[in-house]
Each structure stands twice: as structure tokens, then as C-alpha cells.
Amino acid sequence: MAVKSTDELPSEVLDLTSTTLFEMRALRTPELERAIQHTIREIRLGRFGDCVQGQRD
């Protein structure tokens, strides 16, 4: 498939794929703290991120 554009769409999701788990366990940065608090807030608001999409016969 052809690449149509090199522009990027920004996201608020922290990229934690390059941070090792050893680093992550003790990591304390404002960005990570915000992401953690955001996750906690969402769950406490009932947004669990586990909606099921189903189609019946």
C-alpha cells in the first residue's frame, strides 16, 4: 500500500515501548505521573476500556 503522507497526528498516549520494565518500575516523571493519574481517573469514572462489540446471529 502506498504511503500518502508523512504528517503525524499527535496523541496523548505516552510511548513506553523504549523504556525498560526495570526503568519503568521506579520512573517518576511529570508525564508518567499525569498518565498514571489519568488512567486511575478513567477507571474510577467507569471507563474501563473493556467494552465488548458483538453481533448476533
Query: Should residue 34 be labelled a site residue for other proteins when binding is judged by CB under 8 A?
Result: no
Task: Quote the least distance from Cβ 26 to other proteins, whole Å.
Answer: 9
> What is the phi-psi region of residue 46: left when phi exceeds 0, alpha when psi lies from -120 to 50, beta otherwise?
left
Cell of 51: 467494552
Q: Which of residues 3-22 bind other proteins (CB under 8 A)?
A: 3-22
Task: Quote the least distance from Cβ 21 to other proteins, whole Å.
Answer: 4
- Give the span between the Cα atoms of 20 and 24, in whole angstroms: 6
Binding site for other proteins (CB under 8 A): 1, 3-25, 27, 29-32, 35-36, 39-40, 43-44, 46, 48-57
